[in-house]
Amino acid sequence: MGLADVGLLLLSFIVPFLILIFGLPPFLRLLTRMGKVSDDVHKRPPSKVPEPAGPMLFAAALVGEALVAAGFHSWIPVAVMLGAGVAFLVGLTDDLFVLGGKAKPLLLLLAGFAFVGVIAIRPDLYQPVLTFPILGDTAPHSIIYTVLAVVAFPVVANAFNMMDAFNGEISWFALLTSLALLVGVVLHAAYTSGFSLARVAATLPLVAVAAGFLIFNRYPSRAFDGDSGSLMLGAMFAGLAITGGVEIAAIIAIVPAILNSFYTLSSIRGFVERRKMLSRPTYIGGDGLLYPSTEPNAPNTLIRLILLGGALSEKDLVKSIIYLTVVACLFSFAISALTWVQ
């Protein structure tokens, strides 16, 4: 790795980070002037927060990935941003017009198709194998792997989207899981001969966007990303896990989000737009704390399960989610180390 490579790696993190730091405040002022503000419903009385910040997140990620594509002459960022771009557009449509509960996952399949479409141009975009700790590689399974890659986009993007309910929840979650992803890709690169550095560099804009957005989204939030932001982050994560060849470690890192989606979908029996849920999983008490619903038909979200252990303020609830995510990311580090370190 030469000095130019180190410079490119640094730039692919710093540039998107600075774009968010300096670009988001004027964008948030613009959103406020346009009346694009949402109630922060977990505050008493609800405060108004600009939403969606997703377009600025997408712009920052796009510039970062463009740098990687140009600097490393790589198609990986192109494929990742094609998938993330489609997810961003689906999310933006939902932010502006509200899509149905079933329409969103179906439209997100297009993100998966856009991503795997690039393999027609660059067959080395990803290897159709999974690598397990200790056991090593599976045999190549092009068709099954490609189908799973397409399906991964709606699944992961929706999982990220469902982790976007409280101040700082999505930004902490995206930052921690993208760091776990980065560790996996770095270990993969360090212990595999011929592994392209572009696969590592492509992960850095995601880390930068998550870190930059955390500054504005942490409690008390000054910005909400909207579905355009959370779906884009999820789609980027899915694409980078596939191109980095660290699918197993990536799945483990997002287990809290997978469980949250599973709980929600299994308890409400299908895809229902959250604004149309008949009963709420949690409610705010007169003391400002969040309580779990004890109604028998209340959806079993991860939040409700956490609150069954005791009422919490929004800030402490997000801390609990961070702890669960940290544990999952530690599992993910262990999986990455067991898989790649020889």
Binding site for other proteins (CB under 8 A): 130, 132-133, 135, 138-139, 141, 144, 248, 251-252, 255-256, 258-259, 262-263, 266, 285-287, 289, 291-292, 294, 300, 302, 305-311, 320, 323-324, 327-328, 331, 335
Judged by CB, which is closer to other proteins: 176, or 248? 248
Judged by CB, which is closer to other proteins: 35, or 270? 270
Task: Please say whether the beta carbons of 188 and 195 come within 8 A.
Answer: yes
DSSP SS3 for 311: coil
Q: What is the DSSP letter of 313?
A: -
Q: What is the DSSP letter of 244?
A: T
* Residue closest to 254 by CA, chosen among 146, 332, 152: 332
Residue 54 phi, psi (nearest 5): -50, -45
> What is the C-alpha to C-alpha distance for residues 293 and 111, in angstroms, rounded to an integer?
35
Q: Tally DSSP H helices, then E strands, for the chain.
A: 13, 6
Judged by CB, which is closer to other proteins: 84, or 249? 249
Judged by CB, which is closer to other proteins: 36, or 280? 280
Judged by CB, which is closer to other proteins: 159, or 202? 159
Among positive and negative, which fits the CA dihedral 307, 238, 17, 13?
A: positive
Closest approach of Cβ 243 to other proteins, in Å?
19
Closest approach of Cβ 25 to other proteins, in Å?
35
Closest approach of Cβ 302 to other proteins, in Å?
8
Closest approach of Cβ 270 to other proteins, in Å?
14
Closest approach of Cβ 191 to other proteins, in Å?
20
Q: What is the DSSP letter of 312?
A: B
